[in-house]
Amino acid sequence: MSTHHRGQWGSRTGFVLAAIGSAVGLGNIWRFPYVVASNGGGAFMIVFLIAMLTAGIPILILEFSIGLKTHKSAPGALGKLNKHWEWLGWLQVFTCFVIVIYYSVVIAWSLSYGLFSIQGMKWGGDTSLFFFSKYLELPEAFSLGRFNPDIAVSLFIVWAIVAISVIGGIKEGIEKANKIFMPILFVLVILILIRGITLKGSLAGLDYLFKPDFSKLVDPKVWVAAYGQVFYSMSIAFGIMITYSSYLPDKSDISNNAFITGFADSAFSLLAGITVFSILGYMAHTRGVQVSEVAGSGGIGLAFIVFPEAINALPGFNNVFGLIFFLVLAFAGLTSAISLTEVVISSFIDKFKFNRKRATILIILIQFILSLIYSFGGGLFILDIVDNFVNNYNIVVSGLIEILLIAWVYKLGDFKTLINDHSEIKVGIFWAFCLKILTPVLLAIILALKLISDFKAPYGGYPNYAVIALGWSIPIISIIVGILASKFKSNRI
């Protein structure tokens, strides 16, 4: 029996836009292009497509069906399948809680840089010096550093936008927000794309990005990178897709929605890659060097150091282009932040029957206060450590456990029947093989390789105490929180 007193999507379009909005995030813009370029270019795209079809979409289909079957957020959904599994849902909730706290500060930086763009490109000629020393005031060694009130103000604006989007619920809040944010995001990306590919040297950048190295097809590390990127990019094993699909009408087309979401996310990543490397090609052209010399690496450095430098070098409309680029970052981040926050809030509402408005205000207030730690100069150090361990351990471990429990312990055939009863694209033996064998094996390999790497030396060269306190403690605390939260009695109606 469905329980639509929780709320329901107003339309299929609203759900799909929200799911795509969750999947599309900062990683599509600053991580995907460099993963492609460093792992065989066009050859990697073949591997990535295989990874999406054998891991990303099969898991999306599974998580959509879990949400639709139970009409509950992650803890309640997994607990409904088996009362001993609720802790895993709370582990995913805690993971979302931690991620959105540091994610918010990157969005805040984007808003600040958008303002800097229209202030005559305030970052000046030395973009690295400005970002690390003048804007963040990053200490030379690991420490908390000085509090930056400007970042705190930007953070407040970010959390206010998230609160307004979530407080209205699914139909009146999240759906409306994504119907505004996603079209704007798409238009802005197209504008940057058009500008990028019309610049001199852009083709050299695209050649660097897509030039296929087919020898990489037999390199296990490339396959691991592709499957890792799928998990990183598509919001699977976060509890997000279970939560969003729990608000679907009973007879929704599950597999079609999953394919649309997966391909839309990949298409956005591809557009971002073309945009980034066309502009890097232009930078290389103006300097008279190879693209590899300006490409560097992905991540925060690309967004706040390399791209401001590229904006400086543009032949015209620099301020406008800078504003558009940082708005793209902000909107991509906000759609993901909204989904991460909804996982946390809906889980408490489902279990304890909290009032949505009060729960939203309380939880977001707590998250805002905790996010202020990233307003200090050393916040970047903390962000780097926390992000590494959450993404490489919490998400991989929760994904591995979730798939093993449902594919091997629960009756996967029950989900197959549910999916095929209402979906145009049917699932069968191949879908089951991907979930039972292929994806768990690859996730186990990814986890093992990361463990070996992190045990060889402290992550990022940080002090051991920092890596233990801010890194290794996160997955351990997540499991403890998950178990303790599952022990609380719910206020069932």
Q: What are the pLDDT digits (tens) for 228-239?
A: 888 878 888 888
pLDDT given for residue 5 in this prediction = 55
The token pair at 369 is 């206060």
Pick from 143-157, 229-243, 363-377: least confident:
229-243
Burial 188-226, CB ≥16 within 10 A → b, else e: bbebbbebbbebebbebbbebbbeeeeebeebeebbbbb
Question: In this structure, what DSSP letter does residue 237 have?
Answer: T
Predicted confidence at residue 240, as pLDDT, reads 92
For residue 280, which of 201, 212, 210 has the smallest C-alpha distance?
A: 201
Over the chain, what is the mean pLDDT? 90
Q: Provide the pLDDT for residue 91.
A: 96
Mean pLDDT of 436-453: 90
Is the model's pLDDT at 4 over the cut of 60?
Answer: no
- So what's the pLDDT on residue 169? 84
In the chain, pLDDT over 70 holds for what percent of residues?
97
Q: What percent of the chain has pLDDT over 90?
A: 61
Are the C-beta atoms of residues 278 and 199 closer than 8 Å to each other? yes
Which residue blocks in 288-378 are alpha helix, DSSP H? 291-295, 300-301, 307-313, 318-352, 356-371
Distance CA 265, CA 269 (A): 6
pLDDT bucket at 491, cuts 50 / 70 / 90: low
Confidence tier at 1 by pLDDT (50, 70, 90): very low
> What is the four-CA torsion angle of 345, 111, 38, 466, rounded to 10 degrees?
-60
CA distance 463 to 218: 37
Q: Is the pLDDT of residue 483 over 60?
A: yes
| pLDDT given for residue 297 in this prediction | 64
C-alpha dihedral, 340 to 343 to 346 to 347, nearest 10°: -140
Residue 314, pLDDT score = 84
All residues at 6 or more sequence positions from 454 whose CB lies less than 8 Å from its CB, including other chains:
none
Per-residue pLDDT tens over the stretch 11-57:
888 999 999 999 888 888 888 888 888 888 888 889 999 999 999 99
Calculate Rg over the CA atoms of the chain. Answer: 22
What per-residue confidence (pLDDT) applies to 296?
67
Rounded mean pLDDT of 403-417? 91
Give the integer Cα–Cα distance in Å for 367 and 285: 44
Report whether pLDDT(298) > 80.
no
Long-range interactions of 170-177: CB distance < 8 A, separation 24+: 170/6, 170/7, 170/8, 170/9, 170/247, 171/7, 171/8, 171/9, 171/10, 171/14, 174/18, 174/338, 174/339, 174/342, 175/9, 175/10, 175/11, 175/14, 175/15, 175/17, 175/18, 177/335, 177/338
Tens digit of each residue's pLDDT (9 = 90 or more) over 382-402 = 999 999 899 889 998 999 999
What is the model's pLDDT at position 420?
94
User: Environment class of residue 473 by beta-carbon count within 10 Å: exposed (0-12), middle (13-18) or buried (19+)?
Assistant: middle
Residue 493, pLDDT score:
37
